[in-house]
Structure 1
């Protein structure tokens, strides 16, 4: 009887151990076999732009490291909301990911109260993969030799200095509002449909300055058509190394750092996110990928999930307060 009793206890103990190990083994096995099919990078912009270029360059490297095809799926519309929402609602298994700029992660959440998702809760950050600096430029024939001269006119004549935006709540509009508050001036924003039209307006004298990506503005600066006054960020741009930042010019409140990042749907398993992070970080160490990103006027970086989440939280609060003070309204 004692022998049978001990055998029964032993069997019960084994059953408990096995039942306790089961879920952990299953989770480990699932992560070990990821990815099991094509990995899709959703880009909430049309093909051909900066976000698309970053995603396609990254997809090439990830395909090699993950051993599965990695494709770009362009889903533009509604200021990136359509594409972002499709990722939020995707199966959280690591096969559908978002590659987008800070608009999707922070600006929309700060300016649009009726978003169908909360990026802080519904996305799992993987990492920031590139910086996209903005630059403040004037016509090369303009009398403004530096930013102080331009702001001096704006202070003396409120609303007399006009600048280009890409619409209410666009990055140039936010930078302009930040500059107003940091310098204590009043500027007049003028909406254009895009960078090309804004450059035509600037070169034609319709506006006094524009705020655009370094990638778009640098060729005009090198050609002697535009003069760059300041980088609207915390770090200088490699493509325009001689141009100081607004921080260097004692206007830290005007800093706006554009960036591109990768995220997954919330509830994606932690082991899958860990493997993905490792693959992305390794990809960004590749000189070829770095060159591709720099050719777009951006700077390759890798800022991990924890820091990215902190940046998102900080920027949403900052831009929400800015929109309230500057009365920026986005439908």
Structure 2
């Protein structure tokens, strides 16, 4: 009956796809929407007939909400960092809720290498069909442009910035073996013993750059020790093999709460709610020793507008869910509600700021 009403009276119907497949009618056409692994819906309209204004608007709204990305395909979320690390944990929390929102499978692909550059490069080389998105950190989007990385892609021309994902504070830590409970203590001792303390240079992103900037702004002589990732640096800090580490919240929370490391400064302008007694860089008299942590969500260029809008809407709904807020907070982060355009503006300002600091 519904098929008959669509062809003869109303001109449009929304039906399970199986209805259109099971009862073909030469007087109607079926437009499949929301292709998924387990079910689909079709808009049925009269063939070669002008739709009413209401029917036309309904058809347009439904097809925009569920663009054709591919039939029965899941989405791949590329994470340019190792499994079980801080970024990977944020990504997997996001993927789980995002999958529920879009009612599709979301698989995580860890594409590790070059401090996060390799994974973002893989995203830029993927097809612009909405089936591949991924994380990008400041190592790939800011510091690679300052001469610290390979020119695998152009951060403004080869990347579509969909939305922010998570804000993560960076924290200066010392090991429990270091007799410093305030930043002034650490600076005073390091000046009395030039070259005595070792500071970790972690990766190629903000944590490594902060270590350099800290020495420059305090005029301290510290011995640098390079690490590919935060986890081995934290292990050496707890085993007293290194004295100072700039760390992301997720990689440091457990050690801080167990009193095996000591936070002396937040490399940001606000104290995290879980570190209310740790001063900011500005409060320590080091306002330039500041670098945003966190990650954004990106895709290749060339996305169709309807696919991009659909992805962004689902991302926003995911970030607004109580589950994401709770899970991100458990790792010391907070959802980042900046739009893609806002994130591009932020990157441009960061490029200018770091170039000025490096001159």
Higher RCO (C-alpha 8 Å, min separation 6): 1
Pair 280,144 (structure 1): closer, same or farther in 2 beyond 3 Å: same
Matched, 1:171 2:206: yes
The question of whether the paired residues in 2 share the 8 Å contact of 1:44 and 1:83 is answered with yes
Q: Match of 2:319?
A: 284
* Distance across 1 between alignment mates of 2:226 and 2:114: 17
Q: Match of 1:83?
A: 119
Provide the secondary structure at the position in 1 that maps to 2:220.
Answer: coil
Q: Match of 1:58?
A: 94
Provide the secondary structure at the position in 2 that maps to 1:42.
Answer: strand
* Distance across 1 between alignment mates of 2:150 and 2:253: 36
Q: Match of 1:264?
A: 299
Matched, 1:248 2:283: yes
Q: Match of 1:140?
A: 176
**Runs of 5+ in structure 2 lacking a partner?**
1-58
Matched, 1:154 2:190: yes
Q: Match of 1:45?
A: 81
* Distance across 2 between alignment mates of 1:289 and 1:245: 26
Pair 56,201 (structure 1): closer, same or farther in 2 beyond 3 Å: closer
Compute the RMSD of aligned alpha carbons: 2.7
Provide the secondary structure at the position in 2 that maps to 1:120.
Answer: coil
Pair 144,271 (structure 1): closer, same or farther in 2 beyond 3 Å: same
Q: Match of 1:100?
A: 136
Task: Please state how far the C-alpha of 1:157 moved relative to its aligned partner.
Answer: 4.7
Pair 90,250 (structure 1): closer, same or farther in 2 beyond 3 Å: same
Task: Please state how far the C-alpha of 1:170 moved relative to its aligned partner.
Answer: 4.2
Matched, 1:294 2:326: no
**Runs of 5+ in structure 1 lacking a partner?**
1-24, 326-331
Structure with the larger helix share: 1
1:90-239 to structure 2, matched below 5 A, reads 90-112=126-148, 114-167=150-203, 169-239=204-274
Provide the secondary structure at the position in 1 that maps to 2:299.
Answer: strand
Pair 34,319 (structure 1): closer, same or farther in 2 beyond 3 Å: farther
* Distance across 1 between alignment mates of 2:66 and 2:126: 21
Residue-by-residue CA offset, 1:42-72 (whole Å, 9 max, x unaligned): 1122322222222222222222322332222
Provide the secondary structure at the position in 1 that maps to 2:181.
Answer: coil
Pair 112,237 (structure 1): closer, same or farther in 2 beyond 3 Å: same
Which deviates the most, 182-191 or 50-59?
Answer: 182-191
Q: TM-score, normalised by structure 2?
A: 0.74
* Distance across 2 between alignment mates of 1:63 and 1:39: 9
Matched, 1:303 2:338: yes
Residue-by-residue CA offset, 1:290-330 (whole Å, 9 max, x unaligned): 222222232223111121101212223334455x55xxxxx
Provide the secondary structure at the position in 1 that maps to 2:338.
Answer: strand
The question of whether the paired residues in 2 share the 8 Å contact of 1:134 and 1:213 is answered with yes
